[in-house]
Amino acid sequence: MKLIIVGGGGREHAIIKKLKENPAVEEIFALPGNGGMTDDAVCVDISAKDISGIAKFAKENSIDYAVVAPDDPLVLGCVDKLEDMGIPCFGPRANAAIIEGSKVFSKNLMKKYNIPTAAYEVFSDLNAALAYIETAPMPTVVKADGLALGKGVIIAQTREEAKAAVLEIMQDKKFGASGDRIVVEEFLEGPEVSVLSFTDGKTVVPMISSMDHKRAGDNDTGLNTGGMGTVAPNPYYTKEIADVCMEKIFLPTINAMNAEGRTFKGCLYFGLMLTKDGPKVIEYNCRFGDPETQVVLPLLESDLLTVMKAVTEEKLSKTEVRFSKNHACCVIMASKGYPQSYEKGFEMNIPAEISDSVYVAGALRKDGKLLTNGGRVLGATAVEETLEKAIKSAYALVDRISFENAYFRRDIGARAMKAGKE
Ligand code: AMP
Ligand code: GLY
């Protein structure tokens, strides 16, 4: 089989490595991929947002199956285009990807179908939003409606901060048209859990739970990033909580999307907060999380391509999705300065013996050398019998990798180690 995977980060590298385990897979093309994954896939210089370029490539190369991983092409209708050409795909169509593409849509969906989430108001008028902030309880959370590279969420401690956020998004258009509307919502507290799930629109199969570390600095300080590391499973996510989530969140969401005529097929990501009033949805993503995927897929014992095809063919209820009992830890190595400005072009050294445990997110191959080419450069993942060992082994991998200006958090997994002891 010939496959394409749309996207080019660490998540895509993890998906590719897992797909390759199936002997029927002859060739995987990554569009655009990156220089650090050339041992695993053929990288083709077509942007993940170039939907007609992707479609043309798929047709010319007689592609049998496509996996569309990032939010942008999903929201832009990449799956619609490929499916309409007769190419089976993993990923939601645009009318379902809106669950991530518009926060206003997802909040209204949750309200309409009684799915637990933070209380909220929607504004398309700047002055109305500013007036609301005058009386809103603080802290509050201001969110741009559309996609904003994971940066469109501002947690404001004071009214001044909240007003500044509203002005930045609605007046200065920091996130472009994504800020034409905003959601202002209640600030929730509690441990966060990421649950990725496979769904074919009929059945929903949650994957092993995970914990992201979004802030740039140790002890959850500093700016929000795309994610600086992950562990799986998430120790806060007990069997009892999982059962509540299935009944009150996962199934109601799938059913709600069906009722709206927007059947969701693919990976639906539930970003949850375990509040004292029970689990609530913080966000939906219409795709695999990054870097959650780099700990979740290494623990998947079933064949990924078989599961993905079962989703496409709506046969998920008949397919086994099994995870190992082990623990995984992924530490992201970034360029110093990320998520703000950073230098790139530094030579990377990844020993060949550990390359199976490394998912490259931002690298360029030039004159036979691998050079850093992004904010998040790579993730190093270790799988062990305990969380403690997984953390230790992940940092042992990091110690063996080098590039100038490397930055990583030293406390990935530390919060998870404390779970139940607070
Ligand atoms: P998002 O981009 O929606 O995942 O939001 C980024 C981060 O902001 C989340 O992972 C949470 O840590 C935080 N966040 C979002 N919404 C809320 C909320 N209503 N209350 C508290 N924290 C939130
Ligand atoms: N790690 C969070 C996300 O993928 O959106």
Dist. CA 387–CA 382, nearest whole Å: 10
| 308 HSE (CA, 13 A, CB side) | 24
Whether the pLDDT of residue 104 is over 70: the answer is yes
Dist. CA 13–CA 194, nearest whole Å: 20
How many other CB atoms sit within 10 Å of the CB of residue 407? 17
* Contacting residues for 48 by C-beta, under 8 A, at least 6 apart: 6, 7, 8, 31, 32, 54, 70, 72, 73
pLDDT at site 296? 98
pLDDT at site 182? 94
Q: What are phi and psi of 364, to 5 degrees?
A: -135, 140
Task: For residue 51, give Cα distances in angstroms to 31, 46, 48, 76, 91.
Answer: 11, 9, 7, 8, 14
Instruction: Using the mean position of ligand 1's atoms as its centre, give its distance from the Cα of residue 285 in Å.
Output: 13
Nearest CA to ligand 1 atom 14: 282
Compute the radius of gyration of the chain from its Cα atoms.
Answer: 21
Query: Mean per-residue pLDDT for 147-155?
Result: 83
What is the number of the ligand 1 atom nearest to the C-alpha of 151?
2
Best mutation site among 215, 285, 294, 297 for ligand 2 pocket (most ligand atoms within 8 Å of CB): 285
Assess whether the C-beta atom of 156 lies below 6 angstroms from ligand 1: no
Altogether, the residues listed in the chain come to a count of: 422
* Contacting residues for 329 by C-beta, under 8 A, at least 6 apart: 229, 230, 231, 295, 381, 382, 387, 390, 391, 393, 394, 412, 413
pLDDT at site 422? 67
Assess whether the C-beta atom of 285 lies below 6 angstroms from ligand 2: yes
Mean pLDDT, rounded, of the chain: 96
Best mutation site among 292, 296, 330, 412 for ligand 2 pocket (most ligand atoms within 8 Å of CB): 292
What is the number of the ligand 2 atom nearest to the C-alpha of 230?
1
Burial 46-70 (b: 16+ CB within 10 A, else e): bebebbebbbebbeeeebbbbbbbb
Assess whether the C-beta atom of 271 lies below 6 angstroms from ligand 1: yes
Assess whether the C-beta atom of 283 lies below 6 angstroms from ligand 2: no
Dist. CA 279–CA 192, nearest whole Å: 9
pLDDT in tens, 385-399: 999 999 999 999 999
Dist. CA 198–CA 311, nearest whole Å: 7
Dist. CA 93–CA 135, nearest whole Å: 39
- Greatest extent of the chain over all pairs of C-alpha atoms, in Å: 61
Dist. CA 97–CA 24, nearest whole Å: 29
What is the number of the ligand 2 atom nearest to the C-alpha of 214?
1
- Partners of residue 331 on adjacent β-strands: 229, 380
Nearest ligand to the CA of 141 is 1
Query: Mean per-residue pLDDT for 136-146?
Result: 94
Query: Mean per-residue pLDDT for 284-296?
Result: 98
pLDDT in tens, 183-195: 999 999 999 999 9
pLDDT classification of 421: cutoffs 50, 70, 90: confident
Nearest CA to ligand 2 atom 2: 289
Best mutation site among 187, 236, 273 for ligand 1 pocket (most ligand atoms within 8 Å of CB): 273
pLDDT in tens, 330-388: 999 999 999 999 999 999 999 999 999 999 999 999 999 999 999 999 999 999 999 99
pLDDT classification of 223: cutoffs 50, 70, 90: confident
Assess whether the C-beta atom of 311 lies below 6 angstroms from ligand 1: no
Q: Where are the beta strands (DSSP E) in 225-325?
A: 229-232, 266-275, 278-285
